[in-house]
Amino acid sequence: MLWFLSTWCSSCIQAVKVLEQRKSKLEASGMQIVVLKNHQNGGYPGPQIDDFINRYAASLSDTPNWMIGDATAEMGTTYNPRRYPDIYFLIDETGMLVAVDGAPAVSLDVIMNFASGNAEGN
C-alpha cells in the first residue's frame, strides 16, 4: 500500500487511527505500507510526518511493515499530480495496481481484503 497524505487532513487522521487498530492483521498479512507526506504537505502547513504519526497512532512508528517518510516533488508529480490530500494505491506483489482510493477509514474493507489476498478487482 502506497499512501500519500497531508498532515492537516481530517480523513488522514481518521485513517491512521483505524489502521492502527488493524495493525496486527495487516502485519500478519505481510502487506508493506508506505506512508508518505505529500510534497509541501499538499500546499498547507501542518506537523511533520513523524509528529503526525506519533500524535495519532504512535504504535505504528515502530511497526516493521510500516515505512513513513516524505514524498519528493518528483514522486508527487508522478503519483499524485492533482495533489489529492489523501490518496492510496494498492499494488500487488507483481507490481500490478489493484486499487486507487482515498480515506482508508471508509474503504477499510477493500484494504483488508487486499491484505488477505482477496483484493477487489482481482
Judged by the rule CB under 8 A, the positions of this chain that interact with another protein are 6, 8-14, 41-46, 81-86, 102-103, 105-106
Cβ closest to another protein, residue 43 vs residue 69: 43
Cβ closest to another protein, residue 28 vs residue 97: 97
What is the Cα–Cα distance from 83 to 95, expressed in whole angstroms? 23
What is the Cα–Cα distance from 72 to 67, expressed in whole angstroms? 15
- Minimum CB–partner distance for residue 49 and another protein (Å): 15
- Minimum CB–partner distance for residue 108 and another protein (Å): 11
Cβ closest to another protein, residue 65 vs residue 105: 105
What is the Cα–Cα distance from 55 to 50, expressed in whole angstroms? 8
What is the Cα–Cα distance from 15 to 76, expressed in whole angstroms? 20
